[in-house]
A and B are shown apart, each in its own frame.
Chain A
Amino acid sequence: MSNQPYDFKILESFVKKIAPIDQHRTDNRMMLAAKIAEAMKEKRISAVQLAKTLGKSPSVITKWLSGTHNFTCDTLSDVEFVLGVKLLQLIDEQSIVYNYKIIMKSDTASKPMVALATKAVVHIVHKDTTPVIAQPPA
């Protein structure tokens, strides 16, 4: 094996030619690929299984994992959903999310306007722990 030192000048000249914005894009693509690969490993999902779940061909998943793919927002959203990993950091860490589930019933046959009140049953889930029910008025 040769002990000659490597000449990094050529490499450096190439790197210098890369615009910062392009470098940023490449970094993000690589990071996304790494995050997906890590999530697949954690969930023990193979590329074939992921492809099947998302309705894609396995070669598409291979391309995703190569770090060269330009993902669409929908694709990232689907991958997030399937793998349970955060790829799109849209929510600020300081943000607070409340989820409510409300079920209301109305009987328009008797009195259309009473859709406002009769038989109204409301279930609310507050912060996933404290739900609420609304009773019809007496």
Chain B
Amino acid sequence: MAKKIKTVAPTFKIQEINLMDYRLAPTPFAQPTAFEFDLEIKQLHQPKNALSLITTVLVIKDDSNIICGNLTMCCSFSVENLSEILKDEEHIKTLNLMLNQITISTARGVLFGLFRGTFLHNAILPVLDEAHLKWLPASKI
């Protein structure tokens, strides 16, 4: 009989949102129609403190690859069962994805609040959809 794997649902709450840096480039002559969002997310899990710190660095580029703006923010989450989650790779994946989605959504809101009314008004950060993710070798990035 196959051994049943115990599922651990992450129990967490957001504690803090810190806006660390943001910049808006001068308004270009032509309004960009397409944007590229380069995100670098660092997730630091501290099981000792049941704390996860997510630092997000976002760079917005236009269709000519020119940097239009950037944003750096940090979200901290208190994760009750972090030690238990960190024991299993699948659970970690689930937690990381959830935290990524929340952080990206938060960044989307912060971004809109900061750049509303500017030429980046329509630069809405896309939704990170789990259904459309597949793994790639690191060399391809």
Q: Does A15 contact B (CB under 8 A)?
A: no
Tell whether A120 pairs with B35 under 8 Å between CB atoms, given A108-B122, A132-B135, A132-B136.
Answer: no
Tell whether A104 pairs with B45 under 8 Å between CB atoms, given A99-B40, A120-B132, A123-B141.
Answer: no
Closest to A137 in B: B132
- Dominant secondary structure of chain A at its interface with chain B: mixed
Among B34, B44, B86, B128, the residue within 8 A (CB) of A122 is: B128
Within 8 A of A (CB), among B12-40: 33-40
Query: B39, A101: Cβ atoms under 8 Å?
Result: yes
Q: Does B4 contact A (CB under 8 A)?
A: no
Task: Give Cα A119–Cα B33 distance, bound, in whole angstroms.
Answer: 13
Task: Give Cα A61–Cα B96 distance, bound, in whole angstroms.
Answer: 41
Task: Give Cα A96–Cα B10 distance, bound, in whole angstroms.
Answer: 16
Q: Does A129 contact B (CB under 8 A)?
A: yes
For residue B35, which residues in chain A have a CB less than 8 angstroms away from its CB? 105-106, 108, 115
Query: A134, B138: Cβ atoms under 8 Å?
Result: no
Question: CB-CB contacts of A112-124 with B at 8 A, as 1s and 0s?
Answer: 1101110110111
Query: B126, A115: Cβ atoms under 8 Å?
Result: yes
Tell whether A99 pairs with B41 under 8 Å between CB atoms, given A104-B36, A133-B134, A137-B132.
Answer: yes
B129 to chain A, nearest CB (A): 6
Q: Does A39 contact B (CB under 8 A)?
A: no
For residue B40, which residues in chain A have a CB less than 8 angstroms away from its CB? 99-102
Across chains A and B, which 8 residue pairs bring their CB atoms closest together, nearest first?
A: A109-B33, A102-B39, A100-B41, A134-B132, A98-B43, A131-B136, A108-B122, A115-B124
Binding site for A on B (CB under 8 A): 33-49, 86, 92-93, 96, 100, 104, 122-129, 131-138, 140-141
Binding site for B on A (CB under 8 A): 91-92, 94-109, 112-113, 115-117, 119-120, 122-126, 128-137
